[in-house]
Structure 1
Amino acid sequence: MGTSCLESRPLLQDLKVTIHESSMVFPSKKSNDEKKSLFLSNIDKALNFDVETIHFFASNKDFPPQKVTEMFKKSLEDALVVYELLAGRLKLNSKTNRLEIDCNAEGAGFVVASCEYKLSEIGDLVYPNPAFAQFVHKSKDYLNPGDQPLCVAQLTSFKCGGFAIGFTTSHTTFDGLSFKTFLDNLAALATNKPLAVTPCHDRHLLAARSPPHVTFSHPELIKLKNLSTDQESNVFKAFREELNFKVFQLTSNNILSLKEKAKGSTGSCVSRFNVITTHIWRCKALSAPSYDPAKSSTILYAVDIRSRLNPPLPREYAGNAVLTAYATTNCGELEKGPLSRLVEMVREGATRMSDEYVRSIVDWGELNDGFPHGDVLVSSWWRLGFEEVEYPWGKPKYCCPVVYHQKDIVLVFPPFVGGDCGDEDGINIIVALPPKEMEKFEKLFYTLA
């Protein structure tokens, strides 16, 4: 098929990053509203963990790092007026026993750092180097004991004049789409322009019904009963075993070939996302140790629910409005079944996400503590558009999350413009697996395509 696996030169383990300044930034204007708390939906509160993203920028002679630092800091202060939740803190409401955000204006973290390397020397930006974690701030030594900001931004300059902006944000604040809107607004404020989008902060739009009414069985969710046992089924769990990271590339021609194979006798239209997700599912399930054709396999993948509700959520909804759809079958069918049928299962998983199904999931979360349950989660950054954000100093060269030892999460990214793939309609697939499983996955990735 002509697919390829991106090989990387030895990764730098120490990027020689020095922290120069750590401080808090606060809203540039005081709110006229009384101190308030922000309700969190059951989707929000199930995502109580941090997301770390890095945005790399090439040097721009009109915008040296020092100037960018000043502009970026001011735009962040202005953004905290509109996104006052980012300057707040998570708290447990003692009356309702619910997690919420106290919009107390205690501020967001702001860190200024430098790297002793040029941007061109730190390695291929597409390749997942865990050392990139040095571009987001971990230490909270500049904070009061126990203080946990919901947003910390670190600007790291390189010797060439390029720089990286690393964000650490609580997932309770944004999903990928609303974070993209936040970045658009941040860029607009940095350019002294009006907001690109006025965010909608009404999380009650996704509140549970009263009384809750769970109308579906939801096999894609698992109740949290025994922490030690249930964590074994948590796709978000980080593993301590040795994992290899590899980037698999699909060109637009590769994807077209897969779509043609998936049409089957019906000749029906096949979406790019569905066929790529199905291909990943097959490779991941069949590369697992102790292959058993009768063993069941479940794939999870995010679906934006904004347009699926009745009435639809506003596009500017600034909370978490994605849920995990699923498809399940046995490994025997994944190995020998027609690709068209497998793709149809993935399509049906998204189609299942109707208004009533979404409300049922939200109500399930009102009655249970739990999380998504499956063998592999496909997390797509493919069409979030972080690279399209137009800052005064230009668009990012590349954007990526900090990678961790999570073998059951497969990341899908757009290609690096100007990279080896040379195909703006292709994709990159980042996989982390134990060495023997990676060998199987790589072989299957080519032979099943």
Structure 2
Amino acid sequence: MGSLDQTPTSLLQDLKVTAINKTAISPKEKKERRWMFLSNIDKVLNFDVETVTFFQTTTRLSREEVISKLSSAIESVLGMYDFQAGRLGVNPADCRLAIDCNASGVKFCVAESDLTLEELGNLEYPNPAFRQLVAEKNGYEVAELGDAPLTTFQVTWFKCGGFALGICNNHVTFDGLSFRTFLCNIAAMAADRPLAFLPCNDRHLLAARSPPQVTFEHAELMPLPPDSTSLFDMLAPDLRRYHLFHLAPDTISDLKSRCQKETKKKNPTSFNVVLSSDALCEQGKDHIYTVAFAMDIRRRLNPPLPNEYAGNAILTAYASASLVELETAPFGLLVDRVHEGAEKMTDAYVRSVVDWGETNIGVPHGDVLISSWWKLGFDDVEYPWGKPIYSCPVADPKRDIVLLLPSIKFDKGVNCLIPLKDDCVEKFKQLFTNT
């Protein structure tokens, strides 16, 4: 079907990174201190997401100019995103997790590597060592609350003149779409252009109803103990390693054509087809296999959320099938199931999930969780020093999440980054090939 396992046989362990400078950037325009409400969707996403974006050597600007423009842009943009410069805490007014918008600032670091970009190898495979390109939060002294900044930035220069921009941000601040909007605004400010988007910072748009009205069963959510605060609190370390599989555009088109013959839906989306092709399992014949996937809910609400909503507007949809069905039924069956799972995400269903979170702490539950970075468009952001070569997360195989990532070739293909136990790799390759 697609290209088989493209996992590198060996990975660099040491990127030879040396820190040069570290500082804090606070909003240029100070606003009145406030507590920012976090929705029940935001609250469960209390963990860090690390992203690395690579840029070619630029002759447009010197190193000093890149650093100056980027830091100045961040300073300006933080005036519109005052919560980004704040700190997590508990609002004394209602004892909820919230953001203290106290203008303490974000961390900004500059570093250099003794390597060239070429020496990093295949950028499409998120080497765990890429974490060295992201500034750590630990040990950083901050004002007032004394806890870590919500966001850090690190610019790392390579010997060839190229550089990487590593960003670590707490997921309570943004989902993928609002993070891209944030990056677009930084790029606009750095290029002395007007703000690209005016962010909507009102998280009350996704507040629970009073009293809560849970009108659906939510099998996609697993309740956690009361003292849990994050999606990954209950995930135990496992011996898995990420493997990279590529689906070329022609392969995706062939699968869509095949589905049009087999499925009730006339025009299956590329996402549904790709997600279905990754839903291959290791369980027994009687097992009901569930694939859970993140969905943008902005257009699912009535009235819809603004496209510029700055926060987490994602929920988990799911599809289920037995292993027997996966092995014997037409491929289009699974695509139908994925489509039906997505169609359940109505305004009433979204409100029910949010209300469920008012009295429960729960996380997405399934045999496999799929997160798509495929069409977020981080690679399309136009900075004054040019567009990125590639942008990817720093992947952690212990989190047991399948990642869909764009191809570095910009050919509309998709890379499937899949955490597998060593004894399951060959079986998965066979299933993946025969789909």
List structure 1 segments (4+ residues) > 4 angstroms apart after TM superposition.
234-239
1:444 corresponds to which of 419, 425, 431 = 431
In 2: Cα distance, 1:139 partner to 1:309 partner: 36
Q: TM-score, normalised by structure 1?
A: 0.92
Superposed displacement of residue 134, structure 1: 0.2
1:81 partner SS: coil
Q: Which residue of 2 is the match for residue 424 of structure 1?
A: 411
Which 10-residue stretch deviates more, 239-248 or 308-317? 239-248
2:401 matches 1:414: no
Superposed displacement of residue 225, structure 1: 2.9
- The one-character-per-residue Cα deviations of 1:86-105 (angstroms, maximum 9, x if unpaired) are 11011112331211111100
Q: Which residue of 2 is the match for residue 160 of structure 1?
A: 160
Q: Which residue of 2 is the match for residue 58 of structure 1?
A: 56
In 1: Cα distance, 2:361 partner to 2:398 partner: 22
The answer to whether the 8 A contact 1:235-1:377 is kept is: no
- The one-character-per-residue Cα deviations of 1:317-346 (angstroms, maximum 9, x if unpaired) are 111001110112222212222212211110
Superposed displacement of residue 238, structure 1: 5.5
1:244 corresponds to which of 230, 241, 245 = 241
The change in CA–CA distance for 1:350 and 1:235 in structure 2 (over 3 A counts) is farther
The change in CA–CA distance for 1:64 and 1:324 in structure 2 (over 3 A counts) is same
Give the AA of the match of 1:153. Answer: F
Superposed displacement of residue 50, structure 1: 0.8
In 1: Cα distance, 2:422 partner to 2:78 partner: 44
Give the AA of the match of 2:182. Answer: F
Q: Percent identity?
A: 48
1:164 partner SS: strand
- RMSD of the TM alignment (CA)? 2.0
2:5 partner SS: strand
- Structure-to-structure mapping, 1:254-293, within 5 angstroms: 254-263=251-260, 264=262, 268-281=266-279, 283=280, 285=281, 288=282, 291-293=283-285
In 2: Cα distance, 1:227 partner to 1:362 partner: 19
- The one-character-per-residue Cα deviations of 1:353-379 (angstroms, maximum 9, x if unpaired) are 000000000000011111111111111
Give the AA of the match of 1:408. Answer: D
In 2: Cα distance, 1:254 partner to 1:131 partner: 31
Q: Which residue of 2 is the match for residue 420 of structure 1?
A: none
- Structure-to-structure mapping, 1:103-122, within 5 angstroms: 103-122=101-120
The change in CA–CA distance for 1:258 and 1:235 in structure 2 (over 3 A counts) is farther
Which 10-residue stretch deviates more, 133-142 or 107-116? 133-142
Which 10-residue stretch deviates more, 264-273 or 57-66? 264-273
The change in CA–CA distance for 1:238 and 1:138 in structure 2 (over 3 A counts) is farther
Structure 2: 5+ residue stretches without partners: none
- The one-character-per-residue Cα deviations of 1:403-437 (angstroms, maximum 9, x if unpaired) are 112363111111102xxxxx612111111211111
In 2: Cα distance, 1:306 partner to 1:91 partner: 27
In 1: Cα distance, 2:22 partner to 2:113 partner: 16
In 1: Cα distance, 2:88 partner to 2:431 partner: 44
In 1: Cα distance, 2:7 partner to 2:93 partner: 54
- The one-character-per-residue Cα deviations of 1:375-403 (angstroms, maximum 9, x if unpaired) are 11111111100000000000010000001
Give the AA of the match of 1:152. Answer: T
2:199 partner SS: coil
Structure 1: 5+ residue stretches without partners: 418-422
Q: Which residue of 2 is the match for residue 332 of structure 1?
A: 324
- Structure-to-structure mapping, 1:70-149, within 5 angstroms: 70-144=68-142, 146-149=146-149
Superposed displacement of residue 235, structure 1: 7.0
Superposed displacement of residue 266, structure 1: 5.0
2:292 corresponds to which of 297, 300, 308 = 300
Q: Which residue of 2 is the match for residue 47 of structure 1?
A: 45
2:34 matches 1:36: yes
In 2: Cα distance, 1:240 partner to 1:309 partner: 37
The answer to whether the 8 A contact 1:3-1:254 is kept is: no
